[in-house]
Amino acid sequence: MKLIQEIESGSLPLDEYLARKAEAIAKLEPILNSFITVVKGFEKSRIERLGLLKGLTVAIKDNICMEGIETTCGSLILRGYKPSYDATVVERIKKNSGVITGKTNMDEFAMGSTTEWSAFGPTRNPWDPCRVPGGSSGGSAAAVASGESDLALGSDTGGSIRCPASFCGVVGLKPTYGLVSRYGLIAYANSLEQIGPIARDVYGCALLLTAIAGYDPRDSTSIDRSYTDYRYALIEGLEGFRLGVVRELLGEGVDQRVSSCIEESIYRFESLGATVEEVSIPSISFALPAYYIIAMAEASSNLARYDGVRYGMSLSARDYDWSRYYEDVRSRGFGLEVKRRIILGAYVLSAGYYDRYYIKALKVRTLIKKGFMEVFKRFDALIGPSMPILPFRIGEKIEDPLELYMCDIDTVPVNLAGLPAISIPCGLVDDLPVGLQIIGSYFCEDTILRIAYNLEAALDLRLKPVFSEVCV
Amino acid sequence: MEVFNLGLSIRESRFDVKRLASLVKLRLSPEEEKLFSVQLSRILEFFNRLDKAQVDDVEPTFHPLEIYNVFREDIVSPYPSDKLLSLPSRVKERYIWAPRM
């Protein structure tokens, strides 16, 4: 990353760099709406000793807690909630000299793939403001693509990092489940979600992942592993790498123009020395219903905590009966998509339906996990599109929830299995970016970063959206 | 995870949105109720695709990686109560207001 060298060498003084970022935000926010909250005076941050992140700006998705800064999850029900502590990832970014610019827009409680379900208005795609940036981490991806921030954190429950990374033409990585602490991440579906980095290039992604990854005793699902500096994974050449193209990820419903970009990348991989073969994981055909059943079940349970008493929204009448009060707060505080998922989640967990839906979905999850493990005996990584379609117009699909769920077909299998995956830009179609997805085996982030790094260099796309302050 | 008993029969074909909503403490507007009756039934039909999956001898996966209990030393580390009491919007004399039971 050229920026880091400039900051380190002193050719770009940190205060000048941060002032530029504040200007970019002031200029672009009226169009893009990437942020729910911008941290006041971030441009005046003073850093004593430049750590790993060298003062680079980092935007944080608004479902990650930051002490004293309003954290809403894109929902009215958490409006006014200022956490009393930093999430582990926020703590690590601060410790590594990252400058936090603000809290980014998202679909309410991360439920969505367009960022249109935010209570604070939709984020717009920097490539075409009439189009969605993807979601649910749409604010983070738009902020990075436009140069409002150089790095960002998203969270990925069923594709919420990879989808907006693909739609905004940036790099986004969903880590192996357990690699990054979820302490301070406001829960939607615990067994599926991970926090991960978004950056304009693979180096930035590796850098931010290095800063946030690692064991945290405050998250009981955090894995105790030795420290890795992912920048050292960025090695030139892919000789001997075995890549599998997953047939089910390129099946029905994938836009032909997206498939063509993926095919072009396959040629590049071969010319870089990798062998590429088609592979099939039949159980993936059941991934979407299984994912939505599990995610809604966990959401229904997690979102039971919002009562309008302990934090966030409250109502003023004093003589409320408790049951009516909770109903009123929750009915006013939650948006349509959240209500849909809470109701369906309760349904699939109810006696009589628990085995038919919830347990069955968990059994399908076992098949999908086994399917992946079987093919990873023969391949170093798997590839396919991140999203089956190009970024669509704001309002185009919002009326039909099922149609929107179908867009997650290529991303959800990874979350069900807990695997790492990265989305990187692999081409433009009609001036809209297309993302390629590289899926690795457990804790093989170094492998997928290396593959992405080599493709990035080979394609040399130098992307610059219409609305951006990015120097290419 | 808690299993709710909603008193719904497995044979019951109609999706009772209003009753389900009240169980998860949501009160739907007539428009929402109408919208959800159609949408949620369609989503359930989509979930029924799992009927074709062959999973008879398969164990369920609750978590992607093996989960085990994590213990810490039983040492009290106090959390500043002022910080906690700054969160609710209504606090009186260090008590959090709650609706009448």
Give A351-375 as a DSSP string.
TTTIIIIIIHHHHHHHHHHHHHHHH
Q: Which residues of A touch B17 (CB under 8 A)?
A: 343
DSSP per-residue string spanning A358-423: IIHHHHHHHHHHHHHHHHTTT-SEEEEESSSS---BTTSSTT-HHHHHHTTTTTHHHHHHT--EEE
pLDDT at A221 over 50: yes
- Residue pair A454/A272 in contact by the 8 Å Cβ criterion: yes
Across-strand partners of B100?
A: A321
Residue A331 lies in a domain: no
**Regarding beta strands A99-104 and A35-38, do their DSSP bridges make them parallel or antiparallel, or are they unpaired?**
antiparallel
pLDDT for residue A465: 96
Catalytic residue among A146, A149, A160, A265: A160
Whole-number pLDDT of residue B71: 87
Per-residue pLDDT tens over the stretch A360-385: 999 999 999 999 999 999 999 999 99
Helix (H) or strand (E) holding A432: strand A432-440
Which is nearest to A413 in space by CA: A302, A279, A316?
A: A279
Stretch A235-253: mean pLDDT, rounded? 95
Examine the pLDDT at B67 and tell me if it is beyond 60: yes
CB atoms < 10 A from the CB of A49, how many? 5
Chain A contacts of B61, Cβ < 8 Å?
Answer: 362-363, 365-366, 369
Distance between CA atoms of residues A61 and A102, nearest Å: 8
Interface of A with B in 433-462 (CB under 8 A): 442
Across the interface, whether the CB atoms of B59 and A365 are under 8 A apart is answered: no
Averaged pLDDT, A201-227 = 96
Given the residues A61, A103, A174, A397, select the one marked as catalytic: A61
Whole-angstrom distance, CA of residue B25 vs CA of residue A70? 26
CA distance A325 to chain B (A): 7
| Nearest CA-CA distance, residue B88 and chain A, Å | 5
- Mean pLDDT, chain B, as a whole number? 85
Asked if residue A307 is part of any domain, the answer here is no
The C-alpha atoms of residue A419 and residue A380 are separated, in whole angstroms, by: 13
pLDDT band at B77 (very low <50, low <70, confident <90, very high): confident
The owner of tokens 């991960």 is A196
Secondary structure of residue A294 in the 3-state scheme: helix
The CA distance from A317 to A460, in Å, is 60
Least confident of A338-347, A407-416, A461-470, B46-55: A461-470
**pLDDT tops 80 at residue A472:** no
- Identify whether the C-beta of residue A181 lies closer than 8 Å to the C-beta of residue A205: no
Chain centroid, CA A332 distance in Å: 27
Structural domain spans, chain B = 1-50
CA–CA dist A437, A446 (Å, integer): 15
Q: Tell whether the model's pLDDT for residue A412 goes beyond 90.
A: yes
Q: A132: which 2 tokens?
A: 């969605």
- The tens digit of pLDDT for each residue in B79-95 reads 888 888 989 988 988 89
Task: Read off the pLDDT of residues A331-340 as tens digits, 9 standing for 90 and up.
Answer: 999 999 999 9
pLDDT of residue A471: 60
CB–CB of B64 and A323 under 8 A? no
> Which residues of chain A neighbour B9 with C-beta distances below 8 Å?
352
If DSSP codes are grouped into helix, strand and coil, which group holds residue B49? helix
Residue A309 has its nearest CB partner, among B4, B49, B88, at: B88
Using DSSP, state whether A120 is helix, strand or coil. Answer: coil
Give me the pLDDT at residue A1, please: 74
Instruction: Examine residue A46 and state whether it is found in any structural domain, yes or no.
Output: yes
Q: Which domain holds residue A55?
A: 2-283+366-459
Q: At A151, is the secondary structure helix, strand, or coil? A: strand
Question: Is residue B63 packed enough to be buried (19+ CB in 10 Å), middle (13-18) or exposed (0-12)?
Answer: middle
**Looking at the complex, does the CB of residue A223 fall below 8 Å from at least one CB of chain B?**
yes
Residue with tokens 């009160």: B27
Establish if A297 belongs to a structural domain: no
Kindly report the CATH number assigned to the domain that includes residue A387: 3.90.1300.10
| Torsion A42-A44-A49-A55 (CA) sign | positive
pTM: 0.96
Domain count, chain A: 1
Whether residues A322 and B63 touch (CB distance < 8 A) is answered with: no
Q: Which residues of A78-114 are buried (b: 16+ CB within 10 A; e: fewer)?
A: beebebbbbbbbbbbbbebbbbbbbbbbbbbbbbbbb
Q: Which is it for strands A421-429 and A432-440: parallel, antiparallel or unpaired?
A: antiparallel
Judge whether A179 is closer than 8 Å to chain B, CB to CB.
Answer: no
State which H helix or E strand residue A436 sits in. Answer: strand A432-440
Catalytic status, residue A377: no
Give the percent of chain A with pLDDT over 90.
93
What is each CA distance from A470 to A23, A167, A169, A462, B71, in whole angstroms? 12, 17, 13, 10, 47
Q: CA-to-CA distance for A270 and A41, rounded, in angstroms?
A: 48
Confidence of residue B14 (pLDDT cuts 50, 70, 90): low
**Percent of chain A beyond pLDDT 70?**
99
Distance CA A374, CA B42 (A): 34
**Cα–Cα distance between A40 and A313 in angstroms, integer?**
23
Q: Is A21 a catalytic residue?
A: no
pLDDT at residue B9, rounded to an integer:
42
Q: Please indicate, yes or no, if residue A18 is contained in any of the structural domains.
A: yes
The predicted pLDDT at position B89 comes to 83
Whether A326 is in a domain gets the answer no
Mean pLDDT on A212-228? 94
Helix (H) or strand (E) holding A171: strand A171-174
Q: Residue A381, exposed/middle/buried by CB under 10 A (0-12, 13-18, 19+)?
A: buried
Mean pLDDT of chain A: 96
Paired residues of A433 in beta bridges: A428
Q: Which of A136, A166, A265, A283 is catalytic?
A: A136
Tens of pLDDT, residue by residue over A110-142, are: 999 999 999 999 999 999 999 999 999 999 999
Q: Say which DSSP state B3 is in.
A: P
- Give yes or no for a contact between A144 and A207, defined as CB atoms under 8 angstroms apart: no
Residue A381 placed within a domain = yes
Q: Which residues contact B95 (CB under 8 A, 6 or more apart)?
A: none
Chain A residue numbers touching B36 (CB-CB < 8 A)? 339-340, 343
Identify whether A61 is a catalytic site residue: yes
Residue A391 placed within a domain: yes
pLDDT of residue B4: 47
- Quote the ipTM score: 0.93
Collect all residues with Cβ–Cβ distance below 8 Å to B74 and sequence separation of at least 6.
none
Residue B10 pLDDT > 80, yes or no? no
